Amino acid sequence: MAGEAKSETVTIEAGGAALSGTLFRPQGPPRSAIVLHGATGVAHGYYRHFAMWAAGRGHMCLTYDYRDFGASSSGHPRHSAATMADWGIADQSAALAFILAEAGTAPIRVIGHSLGGFMIPFHEGSRAISHITTIASGPAYWREHPLHYMPAVIGFWFAIGPLAAALAGYLPGRLMGLGADLPAGVYWQWRRWCVSADFYRPDIGSVLPQADFHRYTGPVRILAIEDDVMIPPVTVGRLAPFYPAAVVERVTLAPRDFGLRRVGHLGAFARRNAALWETILAD
């Protein structure tokens, strides 16, 4: 039964950065406390409808923006030194610590959308997590995209993307029709991983700290979206080895099974696709 929920703006301290977020509180003690790690270039306001819906079902839910992006931005991205590692390790770890402090005795859950699902092996606090659900997340590799999407992939990683980032000093995503501007360090590290078949593993021990892939031992639900061309199901399927000690369940969601025409990479949390939310939350 859905109940009333309320939201409040919060600030999360993340290693010298102040992250802006929203904490959605249920009426009464929470059944669980969820931190929702968002996708690259997606402002946390996009997730508010899902988070309020989850809070109405008794789950506390935290959404937030990564440093130097969205509501956490204090200046032009050209002046940001942020990297994908900052977002996926420092910021996600800080958000996890924040929800741990707010949760009381409620079990801690992580919902990770795209970027939100593959950096958890770096989070020291992940032992406290009771359940992980990832959506459209996996070690992206440019050769695995569907053939009809390859012109966009080649342009983004090998042509207009790197040229624009080099000339502008940041990725001018708005001008490129991608919806959001990104700091250059985020784009270049993202590119490095996605053009390598080994994704971020070659950077571990150098620009990335050591990861403990065996640290998390609880359940992981890995959800792929059948019509996702950015992180297709074949790529999502390669996420399971990132959680070798976990109990992994892999599911591919077909839009037609939910009465939907299309969902794609970014659509799972849109209100028009709310038919998916029961499956994502699985409470």
pLDDT tens-place string over residues 34-45: 999 999 999 999
Predicted pLDDT at 2: 60
Mean model confidence pLDDT for the chain: 96
Pairing of strands 247-253, 219-225: parallel
Residue 1 confidence (pLDDT) above 50? no
Structure tokens at 175: 């001008």
Q: Given pLDDT bands bounded at 50, 70 and 90, which one contains residue 283?
A: confident
Higher-confidence residue of 175 and 94: namely 94
pLDDT tens-place string over residues 198-219: 999 999 999 999 999 999 999 9
**Cβ–Cβ under 8 Å, residues 261 and 174:** no
Query: Domains along the chain?
Result: 5-141+211-281 (3.40.50.1820)
Q: What is the pTM of this model?
A: 0.96
**What is the rounded average pLDDT of the residues 48-76?**
97
Residue 153 confidence (pLDDT) above 70? yes
Residue 7 confidence (pLDDT) above 70? yes
Burial class (CB in 10 A: 0-12, 13-18, 19+), 155: middle
Alpha-carbon Rg for the chain in angstroms: 18
Cα 52 vs. chain centroid, distance in angstroms?
18
